[in-house]
Amino acid sequence: MAIENEIKGRFRNEYHKGMINLVYTVNQLGYQFRQTLKSHGISEPQYNVLRVLRGFRSECPVSIGFLKERMLDKSSDVSRIVDNLFAKGLIDRKENPLDRRQKEVDITGKGLELLSEMIECDKKADLLIAKLSREEVVELNRLLDKIRG
């Protein structure tokens, strides 16, 4: 459905329409994805941290700064997220022996098990843009990179 009909609005120009369309679409997709995560009792930033830790298993333990560099939301309070995941038993957190102000973080077996159970989240995320062909997704990625570029 066209964005004009979706929000019953008007736009100053095509750039304004594009920006509103992008924000509206991201919000819709994000809401659907958050609903899936909620059923597993974790938030988007927590899921992001767990996925980073799983993806960098060979380099673990890693610092909170390492995680912050790889977060999708750069404004996330990674220390708080780590505290919450630690409380749930999904990650281990230890003091760095060389710098006691630093924490070393690693995913636990329970965290890996949760991610394995959540494989449908990844599949659902793919389905959120499944209306696009592979070529269209490649073009979408190129355009989004260009916008940020």
Domain count along the chain: 1
Give CA separation, 44 vs 47, 77, 83, 89, 114, in Å: 5, 12, 15, 17, 14
Residues 37-72 have pLDDT tens digits of: 898 999 999 999 999 999 999 998 999 999 999 998
CATH number at 71 reads 1.10.10.10
Confirm whether 81 is domain-assigned: yes
Confirm whether 25 is domain-assigned: no
The DSSP secondary-structure symbol of 71 reads -
The DSSP secondary-structure symbol of 87 reads H
| Confidence (pTM) | 0.85
Spans in the chain with pLDDT lower than 70? none
Size (the chain), residues: 149
Confirm whether 31 is domain-assigned: no
Domain that holds residue 134: 42-148
Tokens standing for residue 27: 């919000």
Separation between Cα atoms, residue 130 and residue 126, nearest integer Å: 6
Confirm whether 69 is domain-assigned: yes
Confirm whether 108 is domain-assigned: yes
